[in-house]
Chain A
Amino acid sequence: MILNVKRVALALSFAAVTTLAGAAEKPRIEVEEWTMPNGMKWLLYERHDAPTIATGWVAHVGSANERPGITGISHFFEHMMFKGTNTVGTKDIAQDLRLIDEQEQVRTEMRALMAEMRARLRRGEIASMDDPAAKTPRYKELEAKFDELVLKQRDNIIKDQLDQIYTKNGGEFLNASTNEDLTVYFMRLPKNKLELWAWLESDRLLNPVFREFYSERDVVFEERRLRTESTPLGKFDEAFNSIFWDAHPYSWPVVGWASDIPMYTLQQAKDYFTTYYAPNNITGVLVGDFKTAEVKPLLERYFGRLKRGPAAPEVVTLEPKSLGEKRFYAEAETSPTVRVWWQGVSVVHKDFAVLDLLTDVLSGRTGRLTKALVLDRKIANNASAFVNGQKYGGFVGAEVTVKDGQEPSAAEAALHEVIDKLKTEVVPDQELQKVKNQAKANAYRRLSSATFIMFQLLQNDGAGDWKKINTQAEEVDAVTAADIQRAAKQYFTRETRAVGIFTRKAAESGAASQEDPDIAALPAEAQPMAKQAVARIKDEKDPAKLKEQLEQMRGQAGQVKAEAKPIFDLILKRAEERLAEIEKEGKN
């Protein structure tokens, strides 16, 4: 039975309620799905707890729709949708368009020069595309000319007017986000401002102007630096993801490869808009304090103006079944970690719920991974598994933080042992019921805020089926122990997995980048191992342990092969130095 959660609750609050029957019996909400003649779909859900409406719309396009050379353009395009329209963001649209045109002419010539720079880079004549020496006088001249045009245009622009209008009218968290499958635009506003929202959102879908195109590329590049390049794991996560997917466009980062971001062109953005932002490729969502019958004519009046476009091209590439295990070793500024991803399924696949529940059996305080790796064998400090399901595919992931002093290889072996048990023995009833109870309670928890419901509807619709918000709990409840065993056998295979082993990179000193000259003198292939060993010695605080290690090493000194002698001597020397240091500290 489908209940409109809120309506039932209200009805009962008038009666004398002594039982808990007022609450919804199932974690379901009654959403009205409505498609306009131009193909734009709407998901409308009334909820009257606060005088606000959570609004959003999803364009069914993401980085999976890109190709090498324009990676990240979906995300960049999301930024452009905030730059205004024929009406919003400008004092004089004719002047604005003229200046955009002039800027484009300069940029066309600059792009031709950049093609020459890339040729020089291939020949090794310049170190990188940012190499100042790479810029020819003509290029610099064009840069200056372009900057001038930008300043000229600035006088004619009303900066970020879209945001200003919403801010002035009580709008909150106006923002957008992009992933592999979808681009969502969202905000919350007072319920009496819905027409303003309809005006502004339909306007940016009807008459967008991509002004400030080139400075926004710089902003996106800073976003890439912020999230990917200057964080301890950003670059590694990106690289691991790209080795996991062989053929599918999920292999490239949503933000785009560094080389591609500075190369987007205005024409590409325009083509992108025409191809993917037609109303028949968009779903709008409203959750909050409105009356469905009243908002439909309003939506029709504003969004009905959009012209249906040709169907967006489909993503046809299918990820082939992996033929062999992939392994990725990296030194990073992080705790030692084992990461395993197995090829999985799309979020709309019939096995998704099985994999979802299977990873619940593995995770959490009482999950099997915690019990085996953290509590019993004390080999890890944290261990969990999760399922990732997207529109075109997915994976099952596990992540283990290896306890200091333990070997990642041992943690990895222990992880596989836990996984293998799922193949040989069925999950006991009590354990299965436990994860089902949690899944059901969580399904209710997901419905606790209007804003969160709005996000889930956008997300689910973008990934292939908005109804998942209602069916997910039942699908999970129907999973049997036999299903889990079958899925474990089917999905957890060696050839379909990628394994990442992260070890801690030697500590960096704050004063300057500290290269150990002794390590630098070693052959390149021996350096990582030496660095690791030296770092471990530096971390050692226990003199007794160091002494023991030294004894052992001295005992082995005679058997060391000639090519290993330099590294052996270095480790011995560092261990002696460290011991002296600790003993001195002890005396102080």
Chain B
Amino acid sequence: MNSKRIVAVALPLVVAASLASAQAVPDNPEKLTFAPLTYNPPSAKDHRVVLKNGMVAYLAEDRALPLVNIQVMVRAGVWLEPPGKEGLARLTGSQMRAGGTKSLTAEQFDERADFLAAQIGSSMGDTSAGASLNCLADNLDDSLKLFIEMLREPGFQEDRFKLAKDQILQDMKKRNDESEAIEGREFQVLVYGDDHLGNRFSTEASINALTRADLSAFHEMYYYPANMILAVSGAFTKADMVKKLEGAFVNWPSPKRVVAPVPTVIKTASPGFYRINKDVNQGRVSVGLPSVVRTSPDVYALEVMNEILGGSGFTARITRTVRSNEGLAYSAGSGIGFGTYFPGRFRASYQSKSSTVAYALQLVFEEIKKMRETRVTDEELLTIKNNIIQTFPSNFESKAQQAGTFAADEYTKRDPLYWSTYRDRIQAVTAADVQRVARQYLVPEKMITLVVGNQAEIAKGDGKHDVTIEKIAGGKVTELPLRDPMTMKRK
């Protein structure tokens, strides 16, 4: 054996041992102390630029990689679809990208974008529309030209439109394939109502009736500079980028139009137990009701309350009870959202084998009731408040995220003080606040319980616990037949 090698291996061990004795490992993590960490969020003001044509852009330079990222937010979406034309908004958004431009066929456009390695996208959602470009900085000019052409003069090429319809109609048949998809869709309908903009389903008839002219007109109506906000990040200098953007949007006139506001009314179904039959060996359960809009002063207490109840992973009460203690589910917890235009929603959910669906529901309702009846412990409150406050920097982790957040805030007219006051407002939440909002908003008698699964098996229970879903969920029992996926009428 080579003795030198032994020495070489032994030496670092000696060093390690001396270090260890100099600074011992404490026997409990609570004995560790940490240097203080201060963090100031970036401010929107420092990034905001108004272009010559009046467009607002948020610019964030980031020279680490030779990439440029441009996002465009457009005030358009499903809420603007005329009745009978369900599917128009989403198709317009996707076909802007897929159907070429006035000067380039779809084939030419796609070949150019792919050769430039530029990722170009366009889509429309319920309450906003958007487009994005991510390209190499050294071909920004060529990529930007393509991107602007798509935004301004999309071609809506007929054969691509026909293909998109085929794809949509084929995917439509899949609407009842996944129990998760059924649950998500129907819970949304129960909380917000059939007519709500998130629940205007396209059908075979509505898709077939759409024409290229419909798409073209919808685009024409909403895509113009005054109806857009930009978020730009990546390898550029601010002055240079402003010049490029002004060049790109120059000569594109903006009509004087007011876009209709997003409707704010929701129609929530009566509380009670709703069931949908689907032959799978695990039942999916959602329990919930509408919450509030984000300008409500209660959102901070509601956020802390939800984290303690079911939003903080293994630390949360529902997860601990249903998953960790009882082994009844892999995923069990709750979430709460706060709406920009209409109330968000609270939803507790889990998935469990058919026989234990009812027992797990009982545990979930007990946890909800406990939030109302007893104050949370100081330790729970501290844990959650610390977590929300200390993970705050993650909201601004990358420059792309910063620019995107600022643009979205302007689009939705968020309170400019939101980010700078956020941590203080969370810090101010007390155990009494948490209990008060739980009592005010998490009213068990108002809850909607939706169960998707094999109802005959679920009804049998586990043979150990004397419990039925009807008794726990309360209210009326409603059988919801599956919808015909092509007409969305119930069978």
B170 contacts A381, C-beta separation under 8 Å: yes
Contacts of B324 in A (CB 8 A): 159-160, 212, 215, 219
Within 8 Å of chain A (Cβ to Cβ): is B373? no
Of the stretches B64-72, B144-152, B213-221, B470-478, the one at the interface is B64-72
A441 and B110 in contact, given A335-B173, A513-B279 (Cβ under 8 angstroms): no
Within 8 Å of chain A (Cβ to Cβ): is B254? no
Say which residue of A169, A172, A216, A222 sits within 8 Å of B386 (CB atoms).
A169
Contacts of A401 in B (CB 8 A): 170
Say which residue of B159, B173, B382, B394 sits within 8 Å of A168 (CB atoms).
B382
Interface size of A by CB at 8 A reads 108
Contacts of B331 in A (CB 8 A): 226
A159 contacts B320, C-beta separation under 8 Å: yes
A13 contacts B383, C-beta separation under 8 Å: no
Distance, CA A510 to CA B66, complexed state (A): 53
B13 contacts A382, C-beta separation under 8 Å: no
Tell me the chain A residues, 199-238 only, with Cβ under 8 Å from chain B. 199-200, 203, 212, 214-223, 225-226, 229-232
Contacts of A504 in B (CB 8 A): 173
Say which residue of A215, A225, A445 sits within 8 Å of B353 (CB atoms).
A225
A51 contacts B136, C-beta separation under 8 Å: no
Distance, CA A88 to CA B119, complexed state (A): 47
Q: Can you name the residue of chain B whose Cβ is closest to the Cβ of A82? A: B314
Within 8 Å of chain B (Cβ to Cβ): is A334? yes
Say which residue of B135, B169, B280 sits within 8 Å of A230 (CB atoms).
B280
Contacts of B468 in A (CB 8 A): none
Within 8 Å of chain A (Cβ to Cβ): is B237? yes
Q: Tell me, rounded to whole Å, the shortest Cβ–Cβ distance linking A297 to chain B.
A: 6
Q: Tell me, rounded to whole Å, the shortest Cβ–Cβ distance linking B193 to chain A.
A: 21
Within 8 Å of chain A (Cβ to Cβ): is B2? no
B64 contacts A23, C-beta separation under 8 Å: yes
A304 and B114 in contact, given A9-B63, A199-B25, A333-B177 (Cβ under 8 angstroms): no
B481 contacts A510, C-beta separation under 8 Å: yes
Within 8 Å of chain A (Cβ to Cβ): is B19? yes
Interface size of B by CB at 8 A reads 103
Say which residue of A18, A199, A444 sits within 8 Å of B29 (CB atoms).
A199
Distance, CA A252 to CA B282, complexed state (A): 22
Say which residue of B19, B65, B329, B390 sits within 8 Å of A169 (CB atoms).
B390
Contacts of A5 in B (CB 8 A): 64-65
Contacts of B173 in A (CB 8 A): 335, 404, 504, 539
A24 contacts B282, C-beta separation under 8 Å: no
A87 and B28 in contact, given A192-B34, A403-B170, A404-B170 (Cβ under 8 angstroms): yes
Of the stretches A311-319, A416-424, A431-439, the one at the interface is A431-439
Distance, CA A381 to CA B169, complexed state (A): 10
A448 contacts B37, C-beta separation under 8 Å: no
A381 and B167 in contact, given A37-B9, A170-B387, A365-B110 (Cβ under 8 angstroms): yes
B327 contacts A219, C-beta separation under 8 Å: yes
Q: Tell me, rounded to whole Å, the shortest Cβ–Cβ distance linking B73 to chain A.
A: 21
A-B contact pairs, 21 of them (CB 8 A): A17-B237, A18-B240, A23-B137, A50-B396, A82-B314, A159-B320, A162-B314, A167-B387, A168-B386, A191-B37, A195-B34, A196-B29, A196-B34, A199-B25, A215-B326, A217-B327, A222-B353, A226-B330, A366-B110, A444-B65, A510-B276
- 5 extra A-B contacts, CB within 8 A, seeds A36-B16, A441-B67: A17-B63, A22-B63, A305-B25, A434-B111, A508-B176
Cβ-closest 9 pairs across A and B: A170-B390, A510-B482, A218-B327, A23-B66, A441-B117, A163-B314, A215-B327, A160-B314, A230-B280
Q: Which residues of B contact A (CB under 8 A)?
A: 9, 12-13, 16, 19-20, 23, 25-29, 32, 34-37, 39, 63-67, 107, 110-111, 113-119, 134-138, 159, 163, 166-167, 169-171, 173-174, 176-180, 204, 235-237, 240, 276-282, 312-315, 320, 323-331, 351-353, 382-384, 386-387, 389-391, 393-394, 396-400, 456, 463, 480-482, 486, 491
